[in-house]
Amino acid sequence: MSFDLSARLAARRAENLYRQRPLLETPQGPQVVVDGQPLLAFCNNDYLGLANHPQVIEAWRAGAARWGVGGGASHLVIGHSSPHHALEEALADLTGRPRALLFTTGYMANLGAVTALVGQGDTVLEDRLNHASLLDAGLLSGARFNRYLHNDAVSLAKRLEKATGNTLVVTDGVFSMDGDIADLPALARETKAKGAWLMVDDAHGFGPLGANGGGIVEHFGLSLEDVPVLVGTLGKAFGTAGAFVAGSDDLIESLIQFARPYIYTTSQPPALACATLKSLELLRSEHWRREHLNVLIRQFRKGAEQIGLALMDSATPIQPIMVGDAGRAVRFSQMLRERGLMVTAIRPPTVPAGSARLRVTLTAAHSEAQVQLLLDGLADCFQQMGAEPNHA
C-alpha cells in the first residue's frame, strides 16, 4: 500500500483548485515584478505600506548590528531579548492592556492561546468563517468544538446554552476573505452573559481600524472585560512578521506557562522586534495612512459598483469581488494579469464551494491613479467575461 499523491494532485488540477507560488522578485509594494513580469499588485496585506518603509528597514539594520541575527533559543531559556520585551510593552500600550506576549507567527499565537485556555471538558464556539488557524486550534484543543452562524449573536447564544466547562468564544475581527467586521458588541454581550470568554483574532484590523490603528476593539470602544483575549499579527499592517496576544497579567502568565507553541519555539530575531517597534510608531503617529486608505476604499467601491461587479459588505481594505465558479475566477485573474494587474483568485477550500472570488486588497502605498487603473482593467475584463459561459 502506498500514498497515491499524483492522483490527488491531478484531481485538484481538474477542479481548478491547484495552487502555485508566484515568485516575487522585488520588495513588497504596489509595483512589483512577479515571475519576471512587471505588475501593479492588489493582493498583499501590507495595508499601511510599511513593509518596505526606509525607517523600518533602517531600524532592522541597526537592530542586527546591535543584537545580531538569530534569537538563539526559546524565550524561556535565553532567547527573550530587550527588544522583544520593549515591543511587548509597546503592544500592551497600543491595546490598552496590562501585558502582551510575542509569538513567532499568527498561526502559533492562535494555536497557543486556544489550547492553553481550554481542553477536555471545556467548550470552544467559533464563527463558521474563522481563519483556518482558529478552527485548527479549536479542534486540537480537545474541547467540545462547535461553530455558530457567521457573525450571528443569536446563533452564538443558542450554542452557549449548551456549553459545558470553561467556554471560549472565538472570532476573527475582520474576516480575511469577506472583509466584513465582527459584531463584537453583540458577541461580547452574549458571551459575558453566560460567563464565557471572548477571544478576537484581529489580524486584519490592527492598522486600518481604530482612531490610532488599535483595531476593532478600539473601533468599538470595548474593554478588557468585553474581550479578554486579543490577538494580532505583525506581518500585515505592521509590515514585519510575528504575532502577539494581549490581555491581563494572569492571561499572559498562563500562556507563558501552558502555550506549547510559545514554550517550544526559538524567539524571533531581536532585530525584527526593533523593526516592528519602528513600524508601530509609524502606525500610531501617521494618521494620513488610514485616511488615505479610506479614500481609496470609497473610490474602489464606487467604481466597482458602477461597473456592475458583485461586491461584499466590506468597509475595510479587503474588497472581494464574487465570481462563484473557481475556473471562471482563475480566468478573470489571468486576464487581469495579462493587463499588468495582479489580483489573486481565491478558491475552495479557502472559501466555501461556489463562492470563488477575486480578493482585492488596497494599501496606503497605492495612489488614486493606480486604483483607477485597476477599475479600468476590471471593467474591460468583466465585459469580456460576460460572454463566457459559467461552468458552475
Question: Residues 269, 301: one domain?
Answer: no
Is residue 1 assigned to a domain?
no
Q: Does the annotation place 131 within a ligand binding site?
A: yes
pLDDT of 2 higher than 90? no
Is residue 13 assigned to a domain?
no
Question: Residues 259, 325: one domain?
Answer: no
Strands 37-41 and 31-34: antiparallel
CATH classification of the domain holding 111: 3.40.640.10
As given in the structure block, the three cell numbers for residue 85 are 520585551
What residue has cell string 478600539?
Answer: 218
Query: Residue 357: what pLDDT?
Result: 95
Report the alpha-carbon distance of residue 342 to residue 303 in Å, rounded: 18
Question: Residues 33, 62: one domain?
Answer: no
Is residue 78 assigned to a domain?
yes
pLDDT of 385 higher than 90? no
Is residue 9 assigned to a domain?
no
Last residue of a domain, one of 285, 304, 337: 285
Nearest to 194 by CA among 172, 216, 167: 167
Question: Residues 73, 32: one domain?
Answer: no
Query: Residue 391: what pLDDT?
Result: 42
Question: Residues 192, 93: one domain?
Answer: yes
As given in the structure block, the three cell numbers for residue 209 are 481600524
Is residue 85 assigned to a domain?
yes
pLDDT of 388 higher than 80? no
Report the alpha-carbon distance of residue 343 to residue 335 in Å, rounded: 10
pLDDT of 389 higher than 60? no
Question: Residues 276, 294: one domain?
Answer: no
Number of domains forming the structure of the chain: 2
If pLDDT is split at 50, 70 and 90, which confidence band does 1 have?
low
As annotated, the active-site residues are: 176, 204, 236
Q: Does the annotation place 240 within a ligand binding site?
A: no
Cα–Cα distances (Å) from 18 to 12, 22, 53, 304, 360, in that order, read 5, 13, 34, 28, 20
Question: Residues 44, 134: one domain?
Answer: no
Question: Residues 223, 356: one domain?
Answer: no
The percent of residues above 90 in pLDDT, for the chain, comes to 92
Is residue 2 assigned to a domain?
no
Q: Does the annotation place 233 within a ligand binding site?
A: yes
Name the DSSP class of 263: H
Query: Residue 392: what pLDDT?
Result: 38
Last residue of a domain, one of 250, 266, 285: 285
Is residue 14 assigned to a domain?
no
Mean pLDDT of all residues in 39-62: 98
Q: Does the annotation place 350 within a ligand binding site?
A: yes
As given in the structure block, the three cell numbers for residue 172 are 476573527
Question: Residues 44, 133: one domain?
Answer: no
Question: Residues 309, 279: one domain?
Answer: no
Is residue 41 assigned to a domain?
yes
Strands 243-247 and 318-324: unpaired
CATH classification of the domain holding 382: 3.90.1150.10
Query: Residue 106: what pLDDT?
Result: 96
Q: Does the annotation place 80 within a ligand binding site?
A: no
Report the alpha-carbon distance of residue 173 to residue 166 in Å, rounded: 22
Question: Residues 43, 113: one domain?
Answer: no
Write the pLDDT tens digit of every residue in 195-219: 999 999 999 999 999 999 999 999 9
Write the pLDDT tens digit of every residue in 304-331: 999 999 999 999 999 999 999 989 999 9
Last residue of a domain, one of 285, 305, 333: 285
As given in the structure block, the three cell numbers for residue 210 are 481604530
Report the alpha-carbon distance of residue 386 to residue 377 in Å, rounded: 14
Cα–Cα distances (Å) from 89 to 36, 95, 127, 249, in that order, read 42, 10, 30, 12
Mean pLDDT of all residues in 155-174: 98
Q: Does the annotation place 316 within a ligand binding site?
A: no
Mean pLDDT of all residues in 189-199: 97
Name the DSSP class of 174: B
If pLDDT is split at 50, 70 and 90, which confidence band does 16 have?
confident
Question: Residues 40, 178: one domain?
Answer: no
Average pLDDT of the chain is 95
Strand-pair partners of 359: 320, 344
Write the pLDDT tens digit of every residue in 264-291: 999 999 999 999 999 999 999 999 999 9
Report the alpha-carbon distance of residue 125 to residue 110 in Å, rounded: 14
- Residue span of the structural domain in which 382 resides: 20-48+287-387
